[in-house]
Structure 1
Amino acid sequence: MLDARVRDDPRPQAPKARAPEAPLRIAFLSYRSDPKVGGQGVYLSQAADALARRGHKVDVLSGPPYPELSHRVRLVKIPSLDLYAQPHNGHRALRWRHLLSWADTGEYLAHLSGKFMEPWSFGRRAARWLKAHRGDYDVVLDNQSLSSGLLAIERAGLPVVEVIHHPIRRDLELALKAEPRWGMRLLSRRWYGFLKMQEKVAPRLKDVIVVSEASGRDVAECLKVGAAAMNVIPLGVDQEVFKPQPDIRRRSNRLLTTASADVPLKGLAVLIQAYARLLIQRPDLELVVIGRLREGPTRDLLRVLDLTDRVQFVSGLTRQQVVEEYAKATICVTPSLYEGFGLPAAEAMSCGAPVVATDGGALPEVVGDGGVIVRRGDVDALADAIAQLLADPAKRAALSEAGRRRARQAFNWDRAAEAYEAVLRRAVARSAC
């Protein structure tokens, strides 16, 4: 593991000539990457390892919270102010030394006014570090930052391939739709101020990877990325980890879902309301949420429905512990209003868990015949689908087998990494022309 502050060297290095099929030297960028706080960290660690297994040299450049990486992948820390990890929410984080850096000062001042600036500030820091280490890499693979720093990286001579899971404008649209208070709507718009940057940068990138056909359509609409630049490569699932656990008994009355953030997009409120209705007929039914319960809309809803002591939240789990939760679940539910892919559904299917999901975004594309699909945002439809599946063990067994079979065929990281490599090599070849 390296720290960018230790290796920083202001002298750009000339790139070395590379054989066309030589292993690539990849700088994989991600502005925050802890797998315990969201699917982006899970994606990053698995994608980086899959590329490294193909023989490429992969360095992950990440801001905090930092990722958990395999021994095949090197971590280069790009320190930030890490404003959201501090007990005082970062308001007293600025020091005199930070005034020497516009990335630090700009991030801090924007934070005071309610803006989320990590994609922008990380991009500036990463561009500075890569300019000093230009000769160490052939190509940059960026995970969703869409920062203006990427354009500086390209100007310095490094080709950039962007991975977009979904356009974040969809998050803002759903947040505004769910919020009746004008003041909170104003704050939401302020928080998502970085969207203007992303929507200017995206159309200028020559190589973009999207994770589903549905995501690609939204990326074209919201970010104006042309068809010539777009490559659809579904995510993979580590099938050696996410697999059935024959030694763990599957419960007969447990629902499981994943909600890494308390935002409308994840549809957790819809599931909780459906759960409240199901309890009338099934008072022993359990609901387990992989995620952390914080002060916010979900806690408020649980209080209103008197379910605070009924819904169990678990967080900080290892990958094996997540697999064990999938193995215990009667049904895994993905109630999202929108997903660019829907990794929890794919993981659950890989573990042989019956899945109920909505038609939000790419979920029908991911689930296929391996689960039950209901209309997004429809409490009654979700409750009915869960109730029918709870009452039908034979159908649950059939879905378990169908989901497992589909996951093994469709969500293969070796296949995805091969497709990534093709895109990366094209970007390198174009840059050399």
Structure 2
Amino acid sequence: MRITFVLPPVNMSGGTRVVTVYANALIRMGHTVTLVSPPPRPISVSSKLRRWIKGSGWVNEDHRRRSHLDGSGLDHIVLERWRAVDESDVPDADVIVATWWETAEWISSFSPEKGAQVYFIQHHEVFPHLPIARVRATYRLGLHKIVIASWLRDVMLSEYGDACVDLVPNSVDKTQFFADVRTKQRVPTAGFLYSSVAFKGVDVTLAALAKVRASLPDLRIIAFGSERITSSLPLLSDTEFVSSPAQNEIRDLYGACDVWVTASRSEGFNLPAMEAMACRTPVVSTKTGWPEEVIRTGYNGVLVDVDDVDALAKGIEWVVTRQSDEWSKLSLNAYRTVEHSSWDASAALFEAALRNAVTRSARSTVAVK
């Protein structure tokens, strides 16, 4: 098949990484893949100044343009400036895949020659900072949907009446994320991914870790992320922060932790939680995304309610204070939770979903716009 992915400005997010994984896999399967995206939106000097005054630092344009596509060798067309991708920007294809709500708007009016239209949904993007009515309207467009988690499939049915949705769960690269069998460390260590995005709940993570530090003063804290630490969301003292680590360094960061913490208020999937488990690290998480589907409290981690700082703190403390044999069981069970996941298997499901979209398009059985 000839396959086109239409993306928003690409970056170092998990969403861009997943598309990169599938694009490479589809090429290995013998398909022709093209990716098209605009560059980042320009930021005015006044906006840059406001961000700097707020403590976010000066905007680094080179940093904004970094993405998981860098060095991938994929056929990636970047528009000359930020604007909507239009029909003349994309090649004729068998299938065209929108990867974000705006891209779904863009491709929905394209002619059949550009391919059967697919909406690859990695989150339910109904957030206050977005035009919610427009976002919701994209889920009602006549595009065949592929979702990454069961909860998203349920939402597409319950809120938008679409029962013909393909579920293709994310996976973990076992050649990148792995760890030898290990024991709990002498100094209890917790880790998390730093992000200033509100729905990631890092403010909750920090509040919970502060509570744990009150009872366990020697708690070691590790964090990494691609963002600059902001004055509005400062790290706790002595936190070991690694900025934009190389992909092959992230495994060691997960493996240095006795517990991985994620307090998201909303998640499409939550790849870091899966990667941490592949590195034999139990996870304490809020009830969102993939963790809500797989974490069993006391078995492979702890699951708590969203925004419950006390419960998150208790979960973290419970994991890091287990006796060595108890912690080792948690570690083993975390590993077993993701042991059989495979990007190859997910890519095969993704390919099948694209073929399903082509078939439905040919039969005109995709939902009416």
Structure 2 length-normalised TM: 0.81
* Gap runs ≥5 in structure 1: 1-23, 82-102, 104-120, 173-187
Q: Quick one: distance in 1 between partners of 2:8 and 2:77?
A: 12
Structure 1 residues 293 and 310: alpha-carbon distance in aligned structure 2, compared to 1, 3 A threshold? farther
Structure 1 residues 296 and 361: alpha-carbon distance in aligned structure 2, compared to 1, 3 A threshold? farther
Q: Does structure 2 retain, via aligned residues, the 8 Å contact 1:49–1:70?
A: no
Q: Does structure 2 retain, via aligned residues, the 8 Å contact 1:238–1:413?
A: yes
Q: Quick one: distance in 2 between partners of 1:250 and 1:43?
A: 32
Q: Quick one: distance in 2 between partners of 1:231 and 1:284?
A: 47
Q: Does structure 2 retain, via aligned residues, the 8 Å contact 1:273–1:379?
A: yes
CA RMSD, Structure 1 to Structure 2 (Å): 2.6
* Pick aligned residue for 1:273 from 168, 183, 207: 207
Partner of 1:55: 30
Partner of 1:387: 317
Q: Does structure 1 retain, via aligned residues, the 8 Å contact 2:96–2:117?
A: yes
User: Secondary structure of the equivalent of 2:233?
Assistant: helix
Partner of 1:183: none
Structure 1 residues 150 and 80: alpha-carbon distance in aligned structure 2, compared to 1, 3 A threshold? same
Partner of 2:334: 403
Structure with larger RCO (C-alpha < 8 A, sep 6+): 2
Partner of 2:281: 353
* Pick aligned residue for 1:128 from 88, 102, 105: 88
Structure 1 length-normalised TM: 0.70
Q: Quick one: distance in 1 between partners of 2:135 and 2:184?
A: 46
Partner of 2:81: 80
Count how many residue pairs are aligned between Structure 1 and Structure 2. 332
Partner letter of residue 254 of structure 2?
Y
User: Secondary structure of the equivalent of 1:298?
Assistant: coil
Partner of 1:168: 125
Shift in Å, 1:246? 7.0
Partner letter of residue 192 of structure 2?
T
Asked whether 1:287 is paired with 2:287, we answer no
Partner of 2:99: 143
* Pick aligned residue for 2:169 from 220, 234, 241: 234
User: Secondary structure of the equivalent of 2:109?
Assistant: helix
Asked whether 1:325 is paired with 2:260, we answer no
Q: Quick one: distance in 1 between partners of 2:254 and 2:213?
A: 21
User: Secondary structure of the equivalent of 2:292?
Assistant: helix
Percent identity between matched residues is 26
Shift in Å, 1:145? 3.3
User: Secondary structure of the equivalent of 2:191?
Assistant: strand
Q: Does structure 1 retain, via aligned residues, the 8 Å contact 2:8–2:102?
A: no
CA displacement 1:240-298 (0-9 Å, x = unmatched): 11111579996732211113x31331111111111111112221212222223443642
Asked whether 1:257 is paired with 2:192, we answer yes
Partner letter of residue 94 of structure 2?
D
Q: Does structure 1 retain, via aligned residues, the 8 Å contact 2:183–2:327?
A: no
Runs of 4+ residues deviating >6 angstroms: 246-249
Partner of 2:366: none
* Pick aligned residue for 1:213 from 150, 153, 160: 150
Give the number of the structure whose residues are more often helix, by fraction: 1
Q: Quick one: distance in 1 between partners of 2:71 and 2:355?
A: 23
Asked whether 1:199 is paired with 2:136, we answer yes
* Gap runs ≥5 in structure 2: 40-64, 364-369
Structure 1 residues 165 and 296: alpha-carbon distance in aligned structure 2, compared to 1, 3 A threshold? farther
CA displacement 1:326-347 (0-9 Å, x = unmatched): 1111211111122121111111
Q: Quick one: distance in 1 between partners of 2:7 and 2:325?
A: 43
CA displacement 1:57-77 (0-9 Å, x = unmatched): 222223343433675632222
